[in-house]
Amino acid sequence: MVAFESKDQLMEVFNKFWIEAKKESEVMQKLATSQVVVRFDIEDPEAHLTINFRDPGPDGEIGTLTFDSTVEPEIKVWSKSETTNKFWQDKLSTTVAMARGQVKLEGSVSKALGLLSKIKPLYKIYPEVLREMGLDNMIL
């Protein structure tokens, strides 16, 4: 599997991905109704990515993406960056990955699983962002 080279690269990819993801207004509306804060604790390289659908961001928007946030998440998801890359390309069975210890979840499992069905349309955006950034080697 392919991991991110650095925290900076991971941050750049996810910042660009989230800009594109937010254009999917129907998906964002569904996620906003969840009123949930999810933190992804990623290793190799280490990064802490928080997506907040509970608290309005600086411009009043819901669904902000931040790194190293101090906001307490309702759901915490741990994985290595190669697993995160695989997940956002819809190439990972979350249940199998959890059983194998490749993904660890803290918080409401039912809420987390409910989010999975809502984010499915975003899976097509992630590899497009990788391609646009010249990271074809990360596309699975």
| pLDDT, tens digit, 9 for 90 and up, residues 100-132 | 999 999 998 888 888 988 999 999 999 999 999
Ranges of the chain whose pLDDT falls below 50: none
- Kindly give the residue spans of alpha helices, DSSP state H, lying in the chain: 7-21, 25-34, 81-87, 94-99, 109-119, 125-132
Query: How far apart, in whole angstroms, are the C-alpha atoms of residue 65 and residue 102?
Result: 23
Residue 60 confidence (pLDDT): 84
Sign of the torsion angle spanned by Cα atoms 5, 53, 93, 16 = negative
Question: What span, in angstroms and rounded, lies between the C-alpha atoms of 52 and 99?
Answer: 26
Pick the CATH number of 7-134 from 3.30.1050.10, 3.40.50.720, 3.10.520.10, 3.40.50.300: 3.30.1050.10
Interatomic CA distance for residues 125 and 53, integer angstroms: 20
The model's pTM: 0.92
| Three-state secondary structure call for residue 7 | helix
